[in-house]
Amino acid sequence: MPNLENLKKQAKQYLRWHRQRHYPVAAQIRAGLPRFHHLDDTQMLAAKFQLADALELVARQLGYEGWEALNQGAPAMTNAARPPASKTAASKTAASPPVLSSTTAQLFVANLTASCAFFTEKLGFSVDFIYGEPPFYGQIRRDRALLALRLVHEPVFVGDIRRREELLSAAITLDGATEIKQLFLDFQAAGVAFHHPLRREPWGARTFIVLDPDGNLILFAGPGE
């Protein structure tokens, strides 16, 4: 069961991050609260964001429509005198299992600015945010696909092991056979380097692997038919 006091502390942390203009929180707010979807990072951090918004964000991250719904479905952990609910009532108000809503692959890059330029100019992504002075971390997206970029100053992998062993840094799926073919042609026209071009796999899917300037292998996959 969610601990309401801990969740309130989490909401206050989001509020502090917003007031401190902590750029990574802008993406979290935008992803969790639909009314902020149209704002970029700078606009999001300049927008009015109050404790009620932060509480709603926490509730929606847990799968509730809002804080009131969460408040009704979770026990008041600080009210020790409250009589225990019956098994029937408890089963009705029990929170549903946590739902994982998204995942983000992290790519290691030697030049964050150059990497962002590659993904935006060649692969059609947009930059969600870049963080740090100087920048060392960023997030990019295209549609529902998210990639995190982490600046490193030393090699993470030994030699060409990624290419030899085909070690993927990320895998991105498309819904249709037409889309995967068109995306490959778009990337090809943009001069993107491929680890392997579009091909049909033994299990029926169509795939290709992009090789980025830092040696990251990014798989794109779609249905064969």
Overall residue count recorded for the chain in this entry: 225
- Per the structure, the complete domain to which residue 162 belongs is given by 105-222
Residues 76 and 140 in one domain: no
By the 8 A CB rule, do 94 and 87 touch?
Answer: no
Instruction: Categorize the per-residue pLDDT at 37 as very low, low, confident or very high, splitting at 50, 70 and 90.
Output: confident
Residues 180 and 87 in one domain: no
Share of the chain above pLDDT 90, in %: 52
| 100 assigned to some structural domain | no
Name the domain boundary from 61, 93, 125: 93
Mean pLDDT along residues 195-214: 94
Instruction: Categorize the per-residue pLDDT at 94 as very low, low, confident or very high, splitting at 50, 70 and 90.
Output: low
How many independent structural domains does the chain possess? 2
Residues 158 and 49 in one domain: no
By the 8 A CB rule, do 222 and 176 touch?
Answer: yes
* Poorest-pLDDT segment among 72-81, 99-108, 132-141, 213-222: 72-81
Mean pLDDT along residues 77-81: 40
pLDDT at 85 over 50: no
Residues 120 and 70 in one domain: no
| 99 assigned to some structural domain | no
By the 8 A CB rule, do 127 and 138 touch?
Answer: yes
